[in-house]
Amino acid sequence: MGDPIHQFELKSLFSLGHIGPYEIVFTNSALFMLLALLATAALMLIPTRQRALVPSRAQSVAELSYEFVANTIQSTAGKEGMKFFPLVFSLFIFVLTVNLLGLLPYGFTVTSHIVITVALALLVFFTVLVYGFWKNGLGFFRLFVPSGIPIYILPLIVFIEVLSFLSRPISHSVRLFANMLAGHITLKVFAGFIVMLSALGIHGVVGAILPLSLVVALTALEFLVAFLQAYVFAILTCIYLNDAIHPGH
Protein backbone atom coordinates (compact mmCIF):
# COMPACT_ATOMS: atom_id res chain seq x y z
CA MET A 1 0.00 0.00 0.00
CA GLY A 2 2.87 2.32 0.88
CA ASP A 3 4.19 2.92 -2.61
CA PRO A 4 2.45 5.92 -4.20
CA ILE A 5 3.97 5.22 -7.64
CA HIS A 6 2.56 1.70 -7.77
CA GLN A 7 -0.74 2.91 -9.20
CA PHE A 8 0.94 3.93 -12.46
CA GLU A 9 2.41 0.51 -13.16
CA LEU A 10 1.56 -0.96 -16.54
CA LYS A 11 0.30 -4.51 -16.29
CA SER A 12 -0.05 -6.68 -19.34
CA LEU A 13 -3.46 -8.29 -19.46
CA PHE A 14 -2.98 -10.51 -22.51
CA SER A 15 -0.74 -10.73 -25.51
CA LEU A 16 -1.88 -9.82 -28.99
CA GLY A 17 1.06 -11.40 -30.80
CA HIS A 18 4.46 -10.26 -31.99
CA ILE A 19 5.61 -7.67 -34.48
CA GLY A 20 9.25 -8.44 -35.20
CA PRO A 21 11.00 -8.91 -31.86
CA TYR A 22 8.41 -6.85 -29.98
CA GLU A 23 5.49 -8.32 -28.16
CA ILE A 24 2.26 -6.40 -28.60
CA VAL A 25 0.51 -6.50 -25.27
CA PHE A 26 -2.93 -5.37 -24.23
CA THR A 27 -2.21 -3.43 -21.02
CA ASN A 28 -4.41 -1.93 -18.35
CA SER A 29 -3.71 1.42 -20.02
CA ALA A 30 -5.16 0.12 -23.29
CA LEU A 31 -8.10 -1.28 -21.36
CA PHE A 32 -8.91 2.11 -19.86
CA MET A 33 -8.55 3.83 -23.22
CA LEU A 34 -11.02 1.33 -24.60
CA LEU A 35 -13.36 1.98 -21.65
CA ALA A 36 -13.10 5.72 -22.32
CA LEU A 37 -14.02 5.07 -25.94
CA LEU A 38 -17.03 2.99 -24.92
CA ALA A 39 -18.14 5.57 -22.34
CA THR A 40 -17.88 8.36 -24.91
CA ALA A 41 -19.77 6.34 -27.48
CA ALA A 42 -22.47 5.56 -24.93
CA LEU A 43 -22.70 9.25 -23.98
CA MET A 44 -22.82 10.60 -27.51
CA LEU A 45 -24.55 7.93 -29.59
CA ILE A 46 -27.27 6.41 -27.45
CA PRO A 47 -28.99 9.61 -26.19
CA THR A 48 -28.82 11.29 -29.60
CA ARG A 49 -30.47 8.37 -31.38
CA GLN A 50 -33.91 9.83 -30.78
CA ARG A 51 -32.99 13.43 -31.67
CA ALA A 52 -35.88 14.79 -29.67
CA LEU A 53 -36.72 18.45 -30.13
CA VAL A 54 -37.00 18.80 -26.40
CA PRO A 55 -33.89 16.93 -25.31
CA SER A 56 -33.86 14.32 -22.61
CA ARG A 57 -31.32 14.76 -19.83
CA ALA A 58 -28.72 12.56 -21.49
CA GLN A 59 -29.25 14.20 -24.85
CA SER A 60 -28.80 17.64 -23.38
CA VAL A 61 -25.49 16.54 -21.84
CA ALA A 62 -24.35 15.52 -25.31
CA GLU A 63 -25.62 18.79 -26.79
CA LEU A 64 -24.03 20.88 -24.05
CA SER A 65 -20.65 19.26 -24.58
CA TYR A 66 -20.96 19.96 -28.30
CA GLU A 67 -21.81 23.62 -27.70
CA PHE A 68 -19.10 24.02 -25.08
CA VAL A 69 -16.38 22.85 -27.46
CA ALA A 70 -17.88 24.74 -30.40
CA ASN A 71 -17.89 27.99 -28.38
CA THR A 72 -14.31 27.38 -27.27
CA ILE A 73 -13.17 26.93 -30.86
CA GLN A 74 -15.08 29.92 -32.20
CA SER A 75 -13.83 32.27 -29.50
CA THR A 76 -10.17 31.30 -30.02
CA ALA A 77 -9.83 30.27 -33.67
CA GLY A 78 -12.85 31.93 -35.24
CA LYS A 79 -15.39 30.43 -37.61
CA GLU A 80 -12.70 28.84 -39.77
CA GLY A 81 -11.56 26.85 -36.76
CA MET A 82 -14.79 24.84 -36.88
CA LYS A 83 -13.09 22.75 -39.58
CA PHE A 84 -11.12 21.23 -36.76
CA PHE A 85 -14.12 20.63 -34.54
CA PRO A 86 -13.87 16.81 -34.82
CA LEU A 87 -10.21 16.89 -33.78
CA VAL A 88 -10.66 19.26 -30.86
CA PHE A 89 -13.83 17.57 -29.66
CA SER A 90 -12.22 14.12 -29.79
CA LEU A 91 -9.18 15.36 -27.89
CA PHE A 92 -11.27 17.13 -25.26
CA ILE A 93 -13.66 14.24 -24.67
CA PHE A 94 -10.89 11.63 -24.71
CA VAL A 95 -8.73 13.49 -22.20
CA LEU A 96 -11.72 14.32 -20.01
CA THR A 97 -13.10 10.79 -19.96
CA VAL A 98 -9.71 9.24 -19.35
CA ASN A 99 -9.00 11.71 -16.51
CA LEU A 100 -12.33 11.01 -14.87
CA LEU A 101 -12.00 7.23 -15.25
CA GLY A 102 -8.65 7.52 -13.50
CA LEU A 103 -10.40 8.98 -10.45
CA LEU A 104 -12.58 5.91 -9.97
CA PRO A 105 -11.40 3.45 -7.31
CA TYR A 106 -9.10 0.85 -8.91
CA GLY A 107 -8.97 3.13 -11.93
CA PHE A 108 -5.88 3.67 -14.04
CA THR A 109 -5.00 7.18 -15.19
CA VAL A 110 -3.96 6.89 -18.82
CA THR A 111 -2.89 10.55 -19.01
CA SER A 112 -0.40 10.09 -16.16
CA HIS A 113 1.92 8.47 -18.71
CA ILE A 114 3.87 10.98 -20.72
CA VAL A 115 3.85 8.68 -23.78
CA ILE A 116 0.14 9.28 -24.18
CA THR A 117 0.21 13.05 -23.70
CA VAL A 118 3.24 13.48 -25.98
CA ALA A 119 1.51 11.46 -28.67
CA LEU A 120 -1.56 13.70 -28.41
CA ALA A 121 0.51 16.89 -28.38
CA LEU A 122 2.58 15.77 -31.37
CA LEU A 123 -0.61 14.97 -33.24
CA VAL A 124 -1.71 18.58 -32.71
CA PHE A 125 1.79 19.90 -33.55
CA PHE A 126 1.98 18.07 -36.87
CA THR A 127 -1.61 18.96 -37.71
CA VAL A 128 -0.66 22.62 -37.26
CA LEU A 129 2.48 22.18 -39.40
CA VAL A 130 0.84 20.24 -42.21
CA TYR A 131 -2.29 22.37 -42.37
CA GLY A 132 -0.31 25.60 -42.02
CA PHE A 133 1.94 24.78 -44.98
CA TRP A 134 -0.91 23.32 -47.02
CA LYS A 135 -3.11 26.37 -46.58
CA ASN A 136 -0.58 29.23 -46.50
CA GLY A 137 2.36 27.72 -48.36
CA LEU A 138 5.54 29.53 -47.46
CA GLY A 139 3.42 32.29 -45.96
CA PHE A 140 3.29 30.08 -42.89
CA PHE A 141 6.78 31.34 -42.07
CA ARG A 142 5.23 34.72 -41.31
CA LEU A 143 4.36 33.10 -37.99
CA PHE A 144 8.03 33.45 -37.06
CA VAL A 145 8.38 37.05 -38.23
CA PRO A 146 6.42 39.40 -36.02
CA SER A 147 5.66 42.70 -37.69
CA GLY A 148 7.05 45.99 -36.42
CA ILE A 149 10.46 44.63 -35.43
CA PRO A 150 13.58 46.59 -36.50
CA ILE A 151 15.58 44.72 -39.15
CA TYR A 152 18.80 44.50 -37.12
CA ILE A 153 17.31 42.29 -34.40
CA LEU A 154 15.02 40.36 -36.74
CA PRO A 155 17.30 37.28 -37.11
CA LEU A 156 17.51 36.93 -33.35
CA ILE A 157 13.76 37.26 -32.95
CA VAL A 158 13.16 34.67 -35.67
CA PHE A 159 15.44 32.20 -33.87
CA ILE A 160 13.59 32.80 -30.61
CA GLU A 161 10.20 32.45 -32.28
CA VAL A 162 11.22 29.15 -33.89
CA LEU A 163 12.43 27.82 -30.54
CA SER A 164 9.21 28.99 -28.94
CA PHE A 165 7.24 27.17 -31.62
CA LEU A 166 9.26 23.98 -31.14
CA SER A 167 8.73 24.09 -27.38
CA ARG A 168 4.96 23.97 -27.76
CA PRO A 169 4.45 20.20 -27.84
CA ILE A 170 6.63 19.90 -24.73
CA SER A 171 4.69 22.35 -22.60
CA HIS A 172 1.42 21.10 -24.10
CA SER A 173 2.08 17.51 -23.08
CA VAL A 174 4.02 18.00 -19.85
CA ARG A 175 1.29 20.17 -18.36
CA LEU A 176 -1.39 17.51 -18.64
CA PHE A 177 0.95 14.69 -17.62
CA ALA A 178 2.43 16.52 -14.63
CA ASN A 179 -0.94 17.63 -13.31
CA MET A 180 -2.41 14.15 -13.39
CA LEU A 181 0.73 12.49 -12.03
CA ALA A 182 1.19 14.97 -9.18
CA GLY A 183 -2.48 14.91 -8.23
CA HIS A 184 -2.68 11.16 -8.00
CA ILE A 185 0.58 10.87 -6.08
CA THR A 186 -0.62 13.50 -3.58
CA LEU A 187 -3.87 11.61 -3.08
CA LYS A 188 -2.03 8.36 -2.50
CA VAL A 189 0.46 9.90 -0.05
CA PHE A 190 -2.26 11.46 2.10
CA ALA A 191 -4.28 8.26 1.99
CA GLY A 192 -1.16 6.44 3.16
CA PHE A 193 -0.97 8.77 6.18
CA ILE A 194 -4.42 7.60 7.27
CA VAL A 195 -3.36 3.97 7.34
CA MET A 196 -0.08 4.72 9.09
CA LEU A 197 -1.70 6.91 11.77
CA SER A 198 -4.56 4.55 12.49
CA ALA A 199 -2.04 1.77 13.13
CA LEU A 200 -0.80 3.77 16.13
CA GLY A 201 -3.84 3.13 18.29
CA ILE A 202 -6.67 5.35 19.47
CA HIS A 203 -4.73 8.65 19.32
CA GLY A 204 -3.63 7.81 15.83
CA VAL A 205 -7.18 7.14 14.72
CA VAL A 206 -8.24 10.56 16.03
CA GLY A 207 -5.25 12.14 14.32
CA ALA A 208 -6.12 10.39 11.06
CA ILE A 209 -9.20 12.57 10.75
CA LEU A 210 -7.00 15.38 9.46
CA PRO A 211 -5.50 13.53 6.46
CA LEU A 212 -8.88 11.94 5.79
CA SER A 213 -10.56 15.32 5.42
CA LEU A 214 -7.63 16.42 3.25
CA VAL A 215 -8.08 13.40 1.00
CA VAL A 216 -11.77 14.20 0.62
CA ALA A 217 -10.98 17.80 -0.28
CA LEU A 218 -8.17 16.75 -2.64
CA THR A 219 -10.47 14.30 -4.41
CA ALA A 220 -12.86 17.14 -5.11
CA LEU A 221 -9.93 19.23 -6.33
CA GLU A 222 -8.81 16.37 -8.57
CA PHE A 223 -12.21 16.31 -10.26
CA LEU A 224 -11.76 20.02 -10.97
CA VAL A 225 -8.22 19.44 -12.25
CA ALA A 226 -9.38 16.55 -14.45
CA PHE A 227 -11.89 18.81 -16.16
CA LEU A 228 -9.65 21.86 -16.20
CA GLN A 229 -6.71 20.08 -17.77
CA ALA A 230 -8.90 18.60 -20.49
CA TYR A 231 -10.22 22.11 -21.14
CA VAL A 232 -6.74 23.65 -21.14
CA PHE A 233 -5.54 20.95 -23.51
CA ALA A 234 -8.43 21.70 -25.87
CA ILE A 235 -8.06 25.47 -25.69
CA LEU A 236 -4.31 25.30 -26.35
CA THR A 237 -5.05 23.07 -29.33
CA CYS A 238 -7.40 25.80 -30.58
CA ILE A 239 -4.77 28.52 -30.05
CA TYR A 240 -2.15 26.52 -31.94
CA LEU A 241 -4.60 25.72 -34.75
CA ASN A 242 -5.43 29.42 -34.92
CA ASP A 243 -1.77 30.03 -35.79
CA ALA A 244 -2.06 27.58 -38.67
CA ILE A 245 -5.23 29.24 -39.94
CA HIS A 246 -4.04 32.84 -39.58
CA PRO A 247 -0.24 33.05 -39.39
CA GLY A 248 1.37 36.44 -38.97
CA HIS A 249 0.60 37.47 -35.41
Partner 1 sequence: MTRDNGDHGNSPSDEAALSARLKRLGERLGQHTGRPVDKSPGASSTADPSAMARGFRLSTELVAGVLVGAALGWLLDRWLGISPWGLIVFLLLGFAAGVLNVMRAAGVNMGSNASRPPD
**Residues at the contact surface with partner 1, assessed by CB under 8 A:** 67, 71, 74-76, 146-149, 156, 159-161, 163-164, 166-168, 170-171, 174-175, 178-179, 224-225, 228-229, 231-232, 235-236, 239, 248-249
Contact by Cβ (8 Å): 108, 167 = no
CB closer to partner 1, 127 vs 161: 161
CA distances from 239 to 23, 195, 197, 203, 233 (A): 38, 45, 47, 53, 10
CA nearest 5: which of 120, 115, 119, 109?
109
Distances 35 to 97, 105, 136, 212 between C-alpha atoms, Å: 9, 15, 39, 30
Q: Which H or E run contains 228?
A: helix 209-245
The strand pairing partners of 15, in sequence order, are: 25
Q: Which residue's CB is nearer to partner 1, number 28 or number 165?
A: 165
- The CB-of-212 to partner 1 minimum distance in angstroms stands at 22
Q: Which is nearer to partner 1, 50 or 164 (CB)?
A: 164
Q: What angle do CA 28, 32, 33 make, to 5 degrees?
A: 115
Closest distance of CB 213 from partner 1, Å: 19
Q: Choose between 180 and 197: whose C-beta lies nearer to partner 1.
A: 180
Q: Closest approach of Cβ 205 to partner 1, in Å?
A: 31
Choose between 12 and 164: whose C-beta lies nearer to partner 1: 164
Q: CB 182 → partner 1: shortest distance, Å?
A: 9
- Whole-number minimum distance, CB 8 to partner 1, in Å? 19
